[in-house]
Amino acid sequence: MKIESLLDDLGSDDPARVEAAAARLAEEADRVVPTLLRGLAGVQRTADLQPVMRVLTRVGPPAFDAVLAAWDRKEVTDWQAGRLLGAFDERCADRYAALAADPDYGRSTNGFQGLVRLRTESEAGLRALVESHAHGRLVPYKAADYARLLHASFRPRLRALRRDPSVSPRIRRGAMAALLAGGGPDALDDRDRAAIERLIRVKIPHETPRLPSSTLSGWWMAVPGASYEGVFEALDLHDRRPVTVSAGVRAAESREIRVPGPDGADRSVGRAFVTPELDGWRLVFGPFDLLVGDPWDGMIETIERVSERCGQAQFFFLDDAGGSDVWIVAENGRVIRRYAAESDPEWEGDPLPWETLAVDDPDFDPEYDETPPNTGTAGARSACAYLSVDPGEVGPGTAVRGHGWLAVTAPGVGHGPFPGTLPI
């Protein structure tokens, strides 16, 4: 049998020739597959692997084992092994699960990729998922996707593992981590959820807050610590929960998700983080498009609405790449001072007591320099320190009171649908 001619037949437009070639190659799999794999030395393009992958697909489980053996012998590269292991169908589901349970990160990753691609629901897959979260090392790529994909099916079994006295504490911890990866804190039963909340409250007093950097771009709001409760209604935030600063920052910076709305159409939902009280102020971070909306009118409308409920509110927006620099102060539903710059700065309202005005600059010459009397010199990075809190300076010397809150931007969604596991 000439392997080359049979490979040519696999690429034929004649289905009968393809089936005949595949059958012949499968009959000789023990000899054909190792020969094909040894011939991949130097192959670096997926297109050049396609003929071999067609054979592997036809052969099935024996070819899967042969690829792993060739990988162990370094006859195929890590890249080639990853591509070749993507060629197999449902007949290799158990082999993907066994590979997902491998302690080696690369091999386990390939196993989970196969389980996700095939949407495999099995006891072996569940065990691999638990093991991947129980070993205390880096969780393999795609393990979280698998946890989310099969969460509805796996949740009862994982909850049962959490309460099974016959399994080790390590496996019980892995089951809890898999639950969190699949459905967030909403996936836990009342007992585990209460335990997580207790742990969060224990960690909060000992945490040194670190807030997002405004380098290149960023935005945030500040409201008085004494009246911050109004921000939840003003921004239409829901299902708020106590959270550490590290978890709140991670959540606020993560991507939005799409979920079905009440009318059946998809809607975007994100998470907002309200910090603990920092030197008397609470800061708000989250998705700009969901909390603010329009880049200009939305800023004004939002900050006035928040100030109406909190007494005062401040808004800061920076985009170094686009040249935008904005800060706004509002009291009792009305903007009292605004600075906005893209090319030429624009000012509105009376100068605040701390401001240094352009007309007070020693180099200002009223005979030649024209500037409105309310023109100041401070951009957002300077103004925030005078007005409330500079996020970049928050640290060990900051007076912290209370805890932060994590909330979602739509009702009835909860925290479960968001991917990823937050630090505690």
3-state SS class at 124: helix
Q: Based on C-alpha coordinates, what's the Rg of the chain?
A: 29
What is the pLDDT, as a whole number, of residue 336? 95
| CA dist list (Å): 242 to 239, 245, 253, 378 | 10, 10, 17, 35
Sorted by where each begins, the domain ranges of the chain are: 3-186, 206-408
Q: Rounded CA gap, 134 and 175, in Å?
A: 8
Judge contact between 56 and 87, C-beta under 8 A. yes
What is the pLDDT, as a whole number, of residue 411? 92
Closest CA to 81 of 97, 98, 65: 65
What is the pLDDT, as a whole number, of residue 372? 62
Which is it for strands 217-224 and 257-260: parallel, antiparallel or unpaired?
unpaired
Residue 343 has which token pair? 């090319």
Judge contact between 214 and 391, C-beta under 8 A. yes
Handedness of CA 153, 157, 160, 162 (dihedral sign): negative
What is the pLDDT, as a whole number, of residue 417? 85
Q: Rounded CA gap, 70 and 145, in Å?
A: 28
Judge contact between 269 and 409, C-beta under 8 A. yes
pTM as predicted? 0.77
Q: Which CATH class is domain 3-186?
A: mainly alpha
Closest CA to 422 of 246, 287, 268: 246
Q: Rounded CA gap, 237 and 218, in Å?
A: 20
What is the pLDDT, as a whole number, of residue 260? 86
Q: Rounded CA gap, 182 and 184, in Å?
A: 6
What is the pLDDT, as a whole number, of residue 361? 63
**φ, ψ at 398 (rounded to 5°):** -80, 135
Burial track 91-107 (b if 16+ CB lie within 10 A, e otherwise): ebbebbbbbbbbeeeeb
Cβ partners under 8 Å of residue 22, min gap 6: 10, 54, 55, 58
pLDDT in tens, the chain (424 residues): 577 777 777 667 787 887 787 777 777 778 888 888 988 888 889 988 888 888 898 889 999 999 999 999 999 999 999 999 999 999 999 999 999 999 999 999 999 999 999 999 999 999 999 999 998 778 998 999 999 999 999 999 999 999 999 999 999 999 999 999 998 888 999 999 898 889 888 999 889 999 988 776 789 999 999 999 999 999 999 999 999 999 999 999 988 998 888 877 889 999 999 999 999 999 999 999 999 988 778 899 999 999 999 999 999 999 877 778 899 999 999 999 999 887 667 888 888 888 877 656 656 556 555 666 556 667 898 899 999 999 999 999 999 999 999 999 999 898 888 887 788 7
Cβ partners under 8 Å of residue 67, min gap 6: 37, 56, 76, 81, 84, 85
